[in-house]
Structure 1
Amino acid sequence: MNKPTKVSPPSTRHTRRWPASLAVVSVLVLQLLVPPQINALPRWLMPVLGGLLLLPLVYMNPFHLRRDEPWLRPVEVVLVAVLVAVNAYYLAGMIFFLNNGDANEAKVLVKSALLIWVTNVVSFAVWYWEIDRGGPFARAPEHEREAERADLLFPQMTVDLPGWKGWLPGFTDYLYVAFTNATAFSPTDTLPLTARTKVLMGIQSAISLLTIAIIAARAVNVL
């Protein structure tokens, strides 16, 4: 008599959301440290605005991506776009300060450059995480959504090695892509495949280049 086939229970694995949320919260807290010399707006404005956009995302999926709602992705994209736009505003304010203010205030220059650079890395890391292959819900195997074509070519996707079959990138992988792009001003081990990703990487590199080449270089001369 044949034994009945044992059916494995369905997988309860869910893609983690909290690393991306924690990164955004960290950037919002940093906005409270923006020097008034480069920011004419109230310091609380950006943390409050970003917090209002982040709140529904965390409420729907506090730790893992379990509830897939159509409106979640547009809210996420708007949040990241606001972070990038405000960061560009800080960069413009920093350049204006260099040309019209007291450019010998080294602490202001270093503090502003560091804040702009960190915000640049985190904001674009979340953006890459959100758009690659249609977003984290489309990439997650536990959700019944068809993933779009890949926007980024990770090296793990090109090798045939034991233990890497079915590999999927997490937020840390996108954070590393954003970090290396902001440091080298170009892709390193992960290549952009689509036009939208190339545009985003170009914008991120431009912000990073201006921050380091113009602002940080001036700060070093002052010191």
Structure 2
Amino acid sequence: MSADRAEARTRHPRHQRRGEARLPAAVATLVAIALYLALPEQLLVAPRFVVPALEIALLVPLIAINPRRVTRQTRLSRILSLALVAVVALSNLGALGLLIHDLVAGAAGDGKALLLGALQVWLTNVIAFGLAYWELDRGGPVKRTQSGRADLPLADFRFSQDENADTVEEVAEGSSVKSDWVPALLDYLYVSVTNSTAFSPTDTMPLSSRAKVLMAVQSVAALLTSLLVIARAVSVLK
């Protein structure tokens, strides 16, 4: 790539005509809603349909603003998208707290239901924090694709593609520098999965304070689910 082309990519939007597809984020949110609806009664932080109804009410206008691809952003849409992620994450952390309380207090109930509930909480944790990383990093999905790199806020995460420009050609061609690569939802869900299984960053490093705080909260939640909740639920089955 010539120096002129590289400079042009720095100045001008990269994927202005396309942006990220709306469907993956919408599906991930709907899966999180379905997982909450399927939780046992004792793990609900509110009447069963209250939290899902609120989440749907936040999701519908976001789909209306960007029905196919996430290319437009208003102040309202930004507030709605962050509020939606916050509701999904906080309601799930609340369910985790109730689950731990029931186990510690000896109100375990049906061991199979608890084990299933722990799995639902863990999966929702992965989705919620994946969406959070997707919404926050470098200004969010609209900013990442519709703005030139010179106009992007500081990155919250450093992906391996951001440092592959000096490797062998078949790897370097997919780097951020040479291909103008930017992370998409799948990349952030992968970060969320690895953080929930390894309880620490793997190939993607948090850079900002807020990213470190979010990854720490997610790691602790996943650790509690994996070690305390699942272990206790399995013991109830015996």
TM-score (norm 2): 0.84
Measure, in 1, the Cα distance between the counterparts of 2:16 and 2:87: 36
Confirm or deny that 1:173 pairs with 2:194: no
Runs of 4+ in 1 over 6 A off after TM superposition: 142-145
Which of 70, 73, 92 pairs up with 2:75? 70
1:219 lines up with 2:224 in the alignment = no
Structure ranking higher on relative contact order (CA contacts 8 Å, 6+ apart): 2
Instruction: Pick from 181, 185, 188 the counterpart of residue 199 of structure 2.
Output: 185
Match of 1:203 among 210, 214, 217: 217
Answer yes or no: is 1:43 the counterpart of 2:48. yes
CA distance in 2 between counterparts of 1:219 and 1:37 reads 15
Q: Does 1:127 align with 2:132?
A: yes
Q: For residues 51-66 of structure 1, what are the structure 2 equivalents within 5 Å?
A: 51-66=56-71
Identity of matched residues, %:
42
Give the equivalent residue in structure 1 for 2:119.
Answer: 114
**Matches of residues 131-150 of structure 1 in structure 2 within 5 Å?**
131-141=136-146, 146-150=151-155
Cα distance in 2 between the residues matched to 1:94 and 1:66: 39
| TM-superposed deviation, 1:137 | 1.2
1:157 lines up with 2:162 in the alignment: yes
- Structure 2 unmatched ranges of 5 or more: 1-14, 166-171
Number of residues of Structure 1 aligned to a counterpart in Structure 2 = 214
Separation in 1 of the partners of 2:111 and 2:182? 43
Aligned Cα RMSD in Å?
A: 2.0
Unpaired runs of 5+ in structure 1? 1-9
1 CA distance for matches of 2:52 and 2:150? 33
C-alpha distance in 2, partners of 1:84/1:11?
30
Secondary structure at the aligned position of 2:135 is classed as: helix
C-alpha spacing 1:100/1:163, structure 2 compared with 1 (3 Å)? closer
Contact 2:131 2:188 in 1 (8 A): yes
User: 1:6 matched to which residue of 2?
Assistant: none
More helix by share: 2
Instruction: Tell me how far apart the structure 1 counterparts of residues 62 and 77 of structure 2 sit (CA, whole Å).
Output: 7
